[in-house]
Structure 1
Amino acid sequence: MSTSLITPDLVAVDVVATDRDDVVRQLIDKLVAAGRVTDADGFAADVKAREAQMATGMPGGIGLPHARSEYVTTPSLALGKVPGGVDFGAPDGPATLVFLIAAPASGDADHLKILAALARRLVHPEFRQSLTDAPDAATVAEIITREVVPA
């Protein structure tokens, strides 16, 4: 991949959000600012449509909204740390780590690879804790790049 999957400008720490749509929108705004999404409203609609098919909450305080979209220019991962938590439909309660996976409409394989690699790491409590404990966006991006992005 020529462009990094995640960079510090795609990480939001201490997100205050009222609900899942709010946190997703804040992460989409980061993707737009970075030039990775061309239409915030269009991509938000794609994410919302995907979320309507099946909740994307995972045990351990994880939200994994994701979508393939014509508005995504490069496979990207944005992350929000939400200390107050938001409901993503997980059986054990609100998500405090929200990972938004954005994949180009034509990027089927990339999207699934990102999702699978991330899901494999997220089952490990120490990985989730390292992200929660990371002091800043640069550290979060470095941990994910090291632990999740295929070499």
Structure 2
Amino acid sequence: MASSTPLTEAGLVIVDLAAPTKDEATRMLATKLAEAGRVTDLDGFLADVRAREAQMATGLPGGIGIPHARSTHVNVASVAVGVSPAGVDFGAEDGPAHLIFLIAAPDGADQNHLVILAQLARKLVHEDFRQSLRDAGSPAAVAEIVTREVVLP
């Protein structure tokens, strides 16, 4: 990953994500990645995300959804973040996801997406981290928290 490109930024965050399904939530977040030039083919990337989601649900306990894919349609490792007051079903046993992290990683040999997943997962087990994201209130604040807390090697 180019060190000059942050993992996320305000333009990749939706603080009042209103989506009835995980596919719609994922499409809304992926559209942000495409608009930012980080995803080159929206439908191609979404097909890769759906294929990954079909292998195993990406909902985690605590109201978390982490849809993700390595894709030839991604040119820089990125995370789009959605905060959903109503929640979106990502298949977690304890209920809907209120924090959704769409991880987009370029296809290839590097394991950046696994590092990103691991870093996020380590932070997301902490309720204070999840609450800080839910309370952030603005895309810039959410992006700042994620950028500060999820550090790639």
Same fold, judged at TM 0.5 (above): yes
Task: State how far apart, in whole Å, the 2-side matches of 1:15 and 1:107 are.
Answer: 33
TM-score, normalised to structure 2, is 0.96
- Residues 1:84 and 2:111 aligned together: no
Tell me the SS of whatever aligns to 2:99. Answer: strand
From 64, 67, 76, the equivalent of 2:66 is 64
Task: State how far apart, in whole Å, the 2-side matches of 1:149 and 1:7 are.
Answer: 14
Q: 1:148 — aligned with what? A: 150
- Deviation digits for residues 11-54 of structure 1 (CA, Å, limit 9, x no counterpart): 00101101000000000000000000000000000000000000
Q: 2:122 — aligned with what? A: 120
From 109, 112, 120, the equivalent of 1:110 is 112
Task: State how far apart, in whole Å, the 1-side matches of 2:46 and 2:152 are.
Answer: 27
Cα drift, residue 2 of structure 1: 2.3
Task: State how far apart, in whole Å, the 1-side matches of 2:36 and 2:126 are.
Answer: 30
- Deviation digits for residues 101-126 of structure 1 (CA, Å, limit 9, x no counterpart): 00000153111110100000000000
Structure 1 regions of 5+ residues with no counterpart?
A: none
Q: 1:29 — aligned with what? A: 31
Q: 1:134 — aligned with what? A: 136
- Seen in structure 2, the aligned counterparts of structure 1 residues 89 and 28 have a Cα distance that, compared at 3 Å, is same
Task: State how far apart, in whole Å, the 1-side matches of 2:16 and 2:109 are.
Answer: 31
TM-score, normalised to structure 1, is 0.97
Q: Which runs of 4+ in 1 moved over 2 A?
A: none
Structure 2 regions of 5+ residues with no counterpart?
A: none
RMSD of aligned Cα (Å): 0.9
- Residues 1:93 and 2:81 aligned together: no
CA contact (8 A) 1:7 1:138 kept: yes
Residue range with higher mean Cα deviation, 125-134 or 99-108: 99-108
Q: 1:10 — aligned with what? A: 12
Give me the identity figure in percent.
Answer: 63
